[in-house]
């Protein structure tokens, strides 16, 4: 199956721009910039051709009996966003319950242009004491990769400057929808 995804990834003209350090058993993978529905397709192809099963959090309402199979097949983990609970704490509990876990998060939260990123992924990684891997899809170079892994220090402004600098040279599918200032 991995060879099939690798073949498809390459036949579509994409190449591997860097693979993650596999020394950790759990990661939050930031997937950015996120400006197109194709980001999900190419991101899944990239992950599967590497042999990674990327998981992601999705609102529990998406896991309706008629669609749950689809979201679960592609790594969806339902979270309850309706309760007056802390989504970060809920996510950390889920992360802690797995021995090995790669969670993909698009911190822009949408494919539309945003003023700043959502910070939940950062606090999930900080509280769960796991690294943040910076994944990208560069549409100009047609490369996908994980180029940097950081360990959250607790100084979000300092860490976000590192993240912002990393993504400053990446070319999204729709550049007008990406705000390079993430904080």
Q: How many residues does the chain have?
A: 183
Quote the pLDDT of residue 4.
84
Model confidence pLDDT, tens digit, residues 125-136: 999 999 999 999
Quote the pLDDT of residue 137.
94
Q: What is the pTM of this model?
A: 0.87
Residue identified by tokens 């990239």 is 46
More confident residue, 85 or 94: 94
Question: What distance in Å separates the CA atoms of residue 126 and residue 150, rounded to the nearest whole number?
Answer: 11
Averaged pLDDT for residues 40-50: 84
Is the pLDDT reported for residue 121 higher than 90? yes
Averaged pLDDT for residues 24-40: 89
For the chain, how are helix, strand and coil distributed in percent, rounded to 5? 35, 20, 45
């Amino acid at each position: 199956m991995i060879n099939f995804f690798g073949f498809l990834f390459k036949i579509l003209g994409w190449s591997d721009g860097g693979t993650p350090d596999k020394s950790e058993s759990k990661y939050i993978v930031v997937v950015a910039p996120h400006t197109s529905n194709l980001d999900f397709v190419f991101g899944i192809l990239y992950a599967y051709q590497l042999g990674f099963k990327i998981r992601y959090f999705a609102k529990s309402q998406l896991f309706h009996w008629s669609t749950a199979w689809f979201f679960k097949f592609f790594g969806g983990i339902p979270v309850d966003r309706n309760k007056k609970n802390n989504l970060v704490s809920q996510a950390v509990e889920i992360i802690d319950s797995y021995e090995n876990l790669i969670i993909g998060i698009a911190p822009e939260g949408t494919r539309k242009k945003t003023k700043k990123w959502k910070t939940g992924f950062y606090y999930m990684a900080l509280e769960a004491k796991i690294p943040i891997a910076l994944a990208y899809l560069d549409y100009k170079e047609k490369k996908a990769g994980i180029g940097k892994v950081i360990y959250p220090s607790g100084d979000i402004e300092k860490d976000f400057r590192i993240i912002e600098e990393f993504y400053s040279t990446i070319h999204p599918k729709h550049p007008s929808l990406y705000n390079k200032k993430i904080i």
